[in-house]
Amino acid sequence: MRKTSVGVFRIATKGPGDVTGLLSLIESGAIDPRSILAILGKTEGNGGVNDFTREYAVSALCAALTPYIDLPPHRVEERIAFVMSGGTEGVLSPHITVFTRTDVVDSQSPSLSGKRLSIGIAQTRDFLPEELGRRAQIEETAKAVAAAMADAAIADPQDVHFVQIKCPLLTSDRVEAATGRGKQAVTHSAYSSMAYSRGASALGVAVALGEIESEVSDEHVLRNFELFSSVASTSSGIELMHNVVIVLGNSASSASPYEIGHAVMRDAIDSTAVIDALRSVGLRIGDGSAPNASRELTNIFAKAEASPNGSVRGFRHTMLEDTDISATRHARAAVGGLISGLAGTSAVYVSGGAEHQGPPGGGPVAAIARLTEE
Amino acid sequence: MRKTSVGVFRIATKGPGDVTGLLSLIESGAIDPRSILAILGKTEGNGGVNDFTREYAVSALCAALTPYIDLPPHRVEERIAFVMSGGTEGVLSPHITVFTRTDVVDSQSPSLSGKRLSIGIAQTRDFLPEELGRRAQIEETAKAVAAAMADAAIADPQDVHFVQIKCPLLTSDRVEAATGRGKQAVTHSAYSSMAYSRGASALGVAVALGEIESEVSDEHVLRNFELFSSVASTSSGIELMHNVVIVLGNSASSASPYEIGHAVMRDAIDSTAVIDALRSVGLRIGDGSAPNASRELTNIFAKAEASPNGSVRGFRHTMLEDTDISATRHARAAVGGLISGLAGTSAVYVSGGAEHQGPPGGGPVAAIARLTEE
Amino acid sequence: MRKTSVGVFRIATKGPGDVTGLLSLIESGAIDPRSILAILGKTEGNGGVNDFTREYAVSALCAALTPYIDLPPHRVEERIAFVMSGGTEGVLSPHITVFTRTDVVDSQSPSLSGKRLSIGIAQTRDFLPEELGRRAQIEETAKAVAAAMADAAIADPQDVHFVQIKCPLLTSDRVEAATGRGKQAVTHSAYSSMAYSRGASALGVAVALGEIESEVSDEHVLRNFELFSSVASTSSGIELMHNVVIVLGNSASSASPYEIGHAVMRDAIDSTAVIDALRSVGLRIGDGSAPNASRELTNIFAKAEASPNGSVRGFRHTMLEDTDISATRHARAAVGGLISGLAGTSAVYVSGGAEHQGPPGGGPVAAIARLTEE
Amino acid sequence: MRKTSVGVFRIATKGPGDVTGLLSLIESGAIDPRSILAILGKTEGNGGVNDFTREYAVSALCAALTPYIDLPPHRVEERIAFVMSGGTEGVLSPHITVFTRTDVVDSQSPSLSGKRLSIGIAQTRDFLPEELGRRAQIEETAKAVAAAMADAAIADPQDVHFVQIKCPLLTSDRVEAATGRGKQAVTHSAYSSMAYSRGASALGVAVALGEIESEVSDEHVLRNFELFSSVASTSSGIELMHNVVIVLGNSASSASPYEIGHAVMRDAIDSTAVIDALRSVGLRIGDGSAPNASRELTNIFAKAEASPNGSVRGFRHTMLEDTDISATRHARAAVGGLISGLAGTSAVYVSGGAEHQGPPGGGPVAAIARLTEE
């Protein structure tokens, strides 16, 4: 039976353009650059429309990797999926997480049993502008999630613990192109198209994984927030017109020394969910270690948002009315503080904008642990 | 034996000028306005120099209380100690905590045994401008802490769990007054005088409680951060030239249904310390309740700051270099997220600026629980 | 013939709660508190939803004036119209402008000829929630403008140079009240209801002054920005359900030593319009004085906004995409810099949010000068 | 006689990584990439310590230019001086200004007479960390200014109108290196070392141009702000240990169709100075054109700062106490608004941090005009 091994490398960065940590691991042989499948990063911008640290980081990584993978800088993104989440508010620490995948022969990993971390990638066809934020995007995303599960050799939706999606947004050019063909885009605003695209993509995950049983239609997007996926994490960007889907889960086909689990935060102070996510991969709180030292935390991935109803467990929050700090920055800082405290490390991936990703005001939280011995 | 009963009322506010919650409790008879000793609040400003929500809140409270206590608005502060901490970043929820104290006869509280929450207040003499941030302020504060302990009927420093201090700052007028007498103020900057005054006041607490054994002198202030108090929480304001000291602890003379405990966060993600503070008053994490439902959380009081060395457990944070959000706002958001998550409520008192209040990057955290039955 | 004299006093403030300047002028006899008709102020908050400096300033002014006008604090607003505009970005300096009006006998002011500054106030009936942002608000505002013109003894619309309006906004309670009666409010969002109310009020001014010839209907509000008033300045607040209208213009019935004029900025860098406004009251640029020293600037009143199309004279601006500073703060800082430079003083009234107040990206600018001798 | 021609190209950018405008001009032949001497830009970051748009812009420009000038990206900076100023607050529009220089034969420009725009570049030796912010940096900078004047063929200091300098800053490594050799750096803080380095560099310009007659010593830096240069514009960066000096002035040796002039703003609202700068190159205010249409504005270069004494012409400003927006952002927005209004264009270069560059609260303002015919 064909087996794959997935590697996960969390690398601290000194700035959005810093690639020295990655290059060191490549030069030392710890990372084979040709095995890199995806890089998820936290960059120290504001996470908003004018956050250029994300594209700067991707640009620097592409320029750094180009000599190793025989592709010009502008084509590196065809090979590797980059997802940069801006905003390291509070204690959050800028870093990247590099995912690699290689084929292995069975005998290489005799001591590891059970399902292990697996990663799969797929993408949708290009969308028409008028399809964004609507059923077409939901359905195509669902198909791509299924394809990425197959790529990861995961059959059971229960084994899927985090689905990271990059999705398009609308620009005025794209809106006009639709209008020119007699079609109406879901919104004329670039900013709110990001929420529509994130929301429809998350609903696509929920459909693929059977988290929603009923039919999902256009009018549910950004309206019925009771419909959500417990493992979706979506972010929109201007540079593409299709969805890129990264599925992370556990598979019997994986010989990886890593394991992944998840829970769902029902609100921004849901410490129980974070503890559950840590426990699901055998870790206890406070220091990211396990009682018997056989496991250690590799990273946590979570989504955060200010609860739309303006309160948390009955007490008013002020995130949505603050003219000086955007609500997404507030939410990342608070949830980042909680998760860092429970994980015992501040280099965690907490991303903002959680439409249909977990319940309103909450969001998914996944943990990856490394099994050092058994 | 004379006994006192201390009441603690956490009241949500709808804005810095909102006094309706307090007035309701007064009108209903739950709070006797003449028994109010101190009000600690979180207001929704930026917590910086230009945060006017603090003085607005005090102004509104004075105007509201004046008909009940037979003092004109500008003299209410002579009777009641107000400490408003600006900044409800992240999930933090604006609220005030009202402390009352009344004499009781022993027979009124037969079922409560052991030491219970007690509160004491004292103040120093007025300082000369050149004394701020220096030994005179340290020593006078230490004396006032001792006096406030006596007022609270607390003899053992181990029974003191939170010491809130309001202290002066330097203005250019005050600096010039000192210069005119041939004296030098510790700094010419109003902003940095706040840190000096907070730091010297915290060291005064440490001296009073025996937390520092060696002699403390001028050159330790804002330099030797290994010297600190584990229970001090200090904030400076322009409206006074002396220190006001509020001691919270447990005393056998108290017939209060409340108990207080504390721990020290060694860094901004020290979840263990927060859990310890909760446990010290019989509470478990996540929902602020106790296994047997006999205790419930009233409030948590903590100080937060961005670690001066730029990292948390080896990972870089970006709070000190952010030109758009001040480090104190970042720190409150993150620590507020952690404490709210562990406490199960976001109406907690997390204040910024923790010089000599806990170790660098950390701070004290105190919890008050109500014993509902025994 | 009955004549009135209008006084205009620009008073610097040391903070939003500072009333000492006003009280000094009252104590010295320069201002008769019973003659105060309106106070327009710039306070140093962020000008957004969570700017509490506005209500704090009004609260402090009411408390200060109450002993002089025999009304309790909460009823002072029935007598005096307060309009506080938050946000003193850049060089803008916090201050209030106090308008007084008294009856005079003709012989008191023989040396002044021509039309002089006059002020008139009126108010609409209370609106139903569903009327806000729609034709009812436009039409009732137009009627109130006519009434305020009559109160100011101004017949010719050409003599009206600035119309300041305070208007209501929608809260969720108000929206529900409408829904309960089977009516639909124009929007469910409190924030965007502010823009609707400001916009409809400004269109009401345009209708009253004949600036718009065609019929104005619901669908023009916040849609057809080619319809605008050149003298309207509107701001919405939660504390009222009707519009308060303050008309400033020149009238032959006024024996005031002040004169007012205006121009319209077609974009945020329209220096020509500011110069024209200054010239209209006999002033030259740079120092707010006149060649023959017979006139001096009292204050300038202007509205500013980031141009909705994202550019100024063909060059892109970044105000609308900045996640860290809101567009209204950017716009006040820039327009405030320009006006202060041309006026030679930074204590000017520049307010944000200019829907239907001047052309898109521009706004009205009015100047008041004092004639010191002739 | 050898003559040079200087070209000046102002190019709007769509983002910090946008090089398409420059590449178009290169491809069309309008700019010979080998003639590029310096690029000054405004990028849309916050202009503070964590503004990464500056290094991203330089990185993108280097990558774009490398194929045209036969140097690898990391060596392009050896050939071309890049100065990126972060912060396009208010109306300011992101753009770059490209300066080129080529040798010409006299006969090529018969119609132009008088002194024309000339540019010269020079650099100091590397500084030791302990030399920054002190006399060594002042003196070496003065020498480099003289060298750059010679390079620009300018003999008379009166012909120098703008001197842009890039200077180093201190890092903890550099401070420690000095300490290791028994030397003391001027400050331990990276942030304040930037001000020291900018200030000493500006004083070096003043010395070179005879703007200061007395001896300048260490204790004048950041203390005696009466000492300043009227044409210096300095900015510090981490990437170098020497000063790069760009002199812009007029020279009889130049056959350029451009002319430069300057004035000094004595405060942030000094419209007279801006008008004088425009007039010095034959332009009138409001539209950047000349009465006879023979000249048009190419760009304006200015420095801005919040006046350290907290007021502008007697009225308090709030820039220094704002915890939410840094004073440099406020200052750029306000001064940018004024200059844009007077220049008639918002794509102007207004930079913050003006220690010893113009008087306290003010700064130099230079204008370059193109002579279209004569």
CA distances to A74, C156, C164 from C368, rounded to whole Å, are 59, 19, 14
How do strand D160-167 and strand D36-43 relate by DSSP bridges?
unpaired
CB contact under 8 A, A60 and D59: yes
Chains contacting D (3 or more CB pairs within 8 Å): A, B, C
Whether A46 and C321 lie within 8 Å, measured CB to CB: no
- Which pLDDT does position C292 carry in this prediction? 61
Indicate the pairing of strand D36-43 with strand D81-86: parallel
A181 min Cα distance to partner chain B (Å): 43
DSSP states of D52-89 as a string?
A: -HHHHHHHHHHHHHHHHHTS-GGGHHHHSEEEEEE---
Beta strands in chain D (DSSP E): 3-12, 36-43, 81-86, 95-104, 116-123, 160-167, 232-236, 244-251, 258-265, 295-304, 311-312, 315-316, 349-352, 363-371
pLDDT reading at C112 higher than 70: no
Cα distances (Å, whole numbers) of residue B94 to A315, A336, A337, B89: 8, 21, 19, 10
- Which residues in A lie closer than 8 A to residue D53 (C-beta atoms)? 52
Q: Using CB atoms, which residue from C91, C268, C311 is nearest to D334?
A: C91
User: Residue C53: its chain B contacts at CB < 8 A?
Assistant: 52
pLDDT score of B117 more than 60: yes
Q: Identify which of C268, C333, C345 has the shortest CB distance to residue D330.
A: C333
Angstroms from B345 CA to nearest CA on chain C:
23
Q: What is the dihedral of CA A344, A349, A353, A357, to 10 degrees?
A: -80
| CB atoms inside a 10 Å sphere around CB B74 | 11
* Cα D289 to Cα D369: distance, rounded to the nearest angstrom: 9
Cβ–Cβ contact A51 with B under 8 A: no
pLDDT tens-digit readout, B296-310: 999 999 999 999 999
Of C12, C318, C333, the CB nearest to D88: C318
Render pLDDT for A230-289 as a digit per residue (tens, 0 to 9). Answer: 999 999 888 789 999 999 999 999 999 999 999 999 999 999 999 999 999 999 886 666
Contact (Cβ atoms closer than 8 angstroms) between residue B338 and residue A341: yes
Tokens of B261: 């405990």
Q: Cα torsion at D29, D35, D36, D37 (round to 10°)?
A: -160
Task: Give the closest residue to A223 by CA, choosing from A185, A174, A186, A184.
Answer: A186
pLDDT in tens, A151-204: 999 999 999 999 999 999 998 889 999 999 999 999 988 888 999 999 999 999
Question: DSSP label at B127?
Answer: P
- CA–CA separation, C239 and C125 (whole Å): 15
Is C214 an interface residue toward A (CB < 8 Å)? no
Return the percentage of chain B with pLDDT > 90, whole number. Answer: 86
CA distance D211 to D40: 25
Residue A324: partners with Cβ closer than 8 Å, 6 or more residues away? B46, C46, C48, C325, C326, D324, D325
- Give the pairing of strands D116-123 and B3-12: unpaired
Rounded distance between C-alpha atoms, residue B276 and residue B285, angstroms: 10
For C151-203, give the DSSP string. Answer: HTT---GGGEEEEEEEE----HHHHHHHHHTT---S-S-HHHHHHHHHHHHHH
Say which of B51, B321, B326 has its CB closest to residue D50: B321
**Is residue B99 over pLDDT 80?**
yes
CB contact under 8 A, C53 and B55: no
- pLDDT tens, position by position, C240-270: 899 999 999 999 999 999 999 999 999 999 9
pLDDT attached to residue C108: 54
Closest-CA distance, A27 to chain B, in angstroms, reads 23
Best-predicted range by mean pLDDT (A12-16, C108-112, C175-179): A12-16
Classify each residue of C141-167 as buried b or exposed e, where b means 16 or more C-beta atoms within 10 Å of its C-beta.
Answer: bbbbbbbbbebbbbeebebbbbbbbbb
Q: For chain C, give the percent of residues with pLDDT over 90.
A: 86
The H or E element that residue B36 is part of is strand B36-43
Q: Which residue of chain B has the CA closest to D87? A: B323
Cα separation, B296 vs B302, in Å, equals: 18
β C258-265/D295-304 pair status: unpaired
pLDDT at residue B62 above 90?
yes
A304 touches chain B (CB under 8 A): no
B114: left (phi over 0), alpha (psi -120 to 50) or beta: left
What is d(CA C164, CA C246) in angstroms, rounded to the nearest whole number? 5
Q: What is the SS3 assignment for B182?
A: coil
Residue identified by tokens 């220690």 is D355
- ipTM of this complex > 0.85? yes
What pLDDT sits at residue B288? 60
- For tokens 């210069």, name the residue: B179
Angle at C135 between CA C132 and CA C140, to 5 degrees: 80
Which residue among C48, C50, C323 places its CB closest to the CB of A48? Answer: C323
Nearest by Cα to A195 from A325, A48, A42: A48
Min CA distance, D258 vs chain B (Å)? 37
pLDDT digits (tens, 9 = 90+) for D324-365: 999 999 999 999 999 999 999 999 999 998 999 999 999 999
Query: Subunits that touch chain A (at least 3 Cβ pairs < 8 angstroms)?
Result: B, C, D
Cα separation, A89 vs B333, in Å, equals: 8
CA distance D91 to chain C (A): 5
Q: Looking at residue B111, what is its pLDDT?
A: 53
pLDDT of residue D49 exceeding 90, the answer is: no
Chain B residue with minimum CA distance to D46? B323
Torsion, Cα D346 D352 D356 D359, to 10 degrees, reads 50
- Residue among C46, C50, C324 minimizing CB distance to A318: C50
Considering only CB atoms, which chain B residues are within 8 Å of D49?
321, 323
CA dist., res. A149 & res. B86, Å (int) = 49
CB pairs under 8 A between B and C: 39
3-state secondary structure string, C329-359?
HHHHHHHHHHHHHHHCCCCCEEEECCCCECC
Among D265, D271, D283, D298, the residue to mutate for chain C (most C Cβ within 10 A): D271
Q: What average pLDDT does the segment C116-141 reach?
A: 97
The pLDDT tens digits for A76-106 are: 998 999 999 999 999 999 999 999 999 987 6
Count of CA atoms in the C-beta half-sphere (13 A) of C305: 22
The answer to whether the CB atoms of D48 and B329 lie below 8 A apart is no
User: CA nearest A322 in D: which residue?
Assistant: D324
Q: Is-contact C221 C212, C-beta < 8 A?
A: no
> Looking at the complex, does the CB of residue D173 fall below 8 Å from at least one CB of chain B?
no
Token pair listed for C114: 């021509």
**What are the E-state strand segments in A199-348?**
232-236, 244-251, 258-265, 295-304, 311-312, 315-316
- Region at B317 (left for phi over 0; alpha for psi -120 to 50; beta for the rest): beta
Q: What are phi and psi of C230, to 5 degrees?
A: -90, -5
Query: 3-class DSSP state for residue A343?
Result: helix
Two structure tokens written together for D194 = 């930037």
Name the band, by pLDDT with cuts 50, 70 and 90, for residue C294.
Answer: confident
pTM for the model? 0.95
Q: How many CB atoms lie within 10 A of CB B119?
A: 30
The pair of structure tokens assigned to B197 is 């005054």
**B117, B6 in Cβ contact below 8 A?**
yes
Q: Is A313 close to B44, i.e. CB distance below 8 A?
A: no
Euclidean distance between the first and final Cα of chain B, in Å?
Answer: 23
Q: Tell me, yes or no, if D53 comes closer than 8 A to chain C by beta carbon.
A: no
* Rounded-to-10 torsion of CA D199, D201, D203, D209: -150
Residue D287 pLDDT: 64
Q: How far apart are CA C257 and CA C279, in angstroms?
A: 17
Question: Quick check: D52 and A60 CB within 8 A?
Answer: no
Beta-carbon separation of C346 and D269 below 8 A:
yes
Enumerate the β-bridge partners of residue B165.
B234, B245
- Quick one: average pLDDT of D44-63? 94
User: What tokens does A217 get?
Assistant: 């239609």
What residue in B sits closest to C58 (Cα-Cα)? B56
Kindly tell me if the per-residue pLDDT of D40 is higher than 80. Answer: yes
| B139 vs B216: CA distance, rounded Å | 9
Q: Which residue has the higher pLDDT, A17 or B288?
A: A17
d(CA D296, CA D290): 7
Inter-chain touch C60–B59, beta carbons under 8 Å: yes
**C63: its two tokens:** 């408390």
| pLDDT surpassing 60 at residue C211 | yes
Give the gap in angstroms from C-alpha D318 to the nearest C-alpha of chain B: 8
Contact status, residue D161 vs residue D276, Cβ threshold 8 Å: no
- Would you give the DSSP letter of residue D164? E
Could you give the 3-state DSSP secondary structure of residue D251?
strand
Q: Which of A141, B15, D297 is nearest to C54 (CA)?
A: B15
Region A293-300 average pLDDT:
91
Percentage, residues of chain A above pLDDT 70: 95
pLDDT for the residue D83: 95
pLDDT of residue B114: 87
Sort out which chain C residues have CB atoms less than 8 A from B64's CB and list them.
Answer: none
> Of the listed D3, D42, D166, D303, which one is catalytic?
D166
Q: Length of chain D in residues, anyone? A: 374
DSSP state of A71: S
* Interface contact flag, A89 B335, Cβ < 8 Å: no
Confidence label for C116 from pLDDT (cuts 50, 70 and 90): very high
- Give me the pLDDT at residue B107, please: 56
Q: Strand, coil or helix: what is B360?
A: coil
Split at pLDDT 50, 70, 90, the class of B172 is confident
Closest by CA to A78, choosing from A277, A244, A283, is A244
What are the tens digits of pLDDT across the range D9-21? 999 999 999 999 9
Instruction: Indicate which residue of B5, B166, B230, B256 is catalytic.
Output: B166
Q: Which of B365-374, C136-145, D313-322 has the lowest mean pLDDT?
A: B365-374
Strands C116-123 and C244-251: antiparallel
D286 has pLDDT over 90? no
At B108, the pLDDT band (50, 70, 90 cuts) reads low
- The per-residue pLDDT for C221 is 96
d(CA B195, CA B352): 11
